[in-house]
Amino acid sequence: MIQEIFLKKAVQIRKEYLKLKYDIGFYENSIKDLLKMIESKSKELGDFKEDLDKSKITDADVAKSRLLKIIMDIESEYNNSNFQINKIDKDIDNLRKEEVELFKQIKQRYPEMNDKDIKQEVQNYIEKMNLS
């Protein structure tokens, strides 16, 4: 039987995984909001082009300012989403490393156990903790 210290570490990794899974759902909604905003800005760009075509905007500085605002809004929203995605990627990589390291530690401590038995015992413990 695997020592509880290893099993508790597996539970900690599982909890972090579940939190990441929840966060991914949140960020998915954030990305959907980004897409809606881009669609809105696309319409705004279409209106801007129409105003230019109809000579409703004749001042180059006004046109430049309006276009720059649209671009900066898109860039700001993109950077925010990109930051969130990069954070999740980093967290997933760290979690993966923790999982691999834990598995190596268990394998070192219990060389007689095969991979399948180790996974099964850890999964059973996680289920017992209601984290499956």
Provide the pLDDT for residue 109. 96
Provide the 3-class DSSP secondary structure of residue 51. helix
Query: By residue range, what is the domain housing residue 27?
Result: 4-126
Whether the per-residue pLDDT at 132 is higher than 90: the answer is no
How many angstroms separate the most distant Cα atoms in the chain? 81
Whether the per-residue pLDDT at 65 is higher than 90: the answer is yes
pTM reported for the whole predicted model? 0.73
Q: Provide the number of structural domains found in the chain.
A: 1
- Looking at the domain assignment, is residue 131 inside a domain? no
- Looking at the domain assignment, is residue 88 inside a domain? yes
- Looking at the domain assignment, is residue 95 inside a domain? yes
Whether the per-residue pLDDT at 70 is higher than 90: the answer is yes
Burial class of residue 122, CB neighbours in 10 A (0-12, 13-18, 19+): buried
| Residues 10, 122 contacting (CB under 8 angstroms) | yes
Nearest to 123 by CA among 1, 7, 4, 18: 7
How far from each other are the two terminal CA atoms of the chain, in whole angstroms? 20
- Looking at the domain assignment, is residue 82 inside a domain? yes
Provide the pLDDT for residue 96. 97
Whether the per-residue pLDDT at 46 is higher than 90: the answer is yes
- Looking at the domain assignment, is residue 132 inside a domain? no
Task: Using a pLDDT cut of 90, give the percent of the chain over it.
Answer: 76
- Looking at the domain assignment, is residue 74 inside a domain? yes
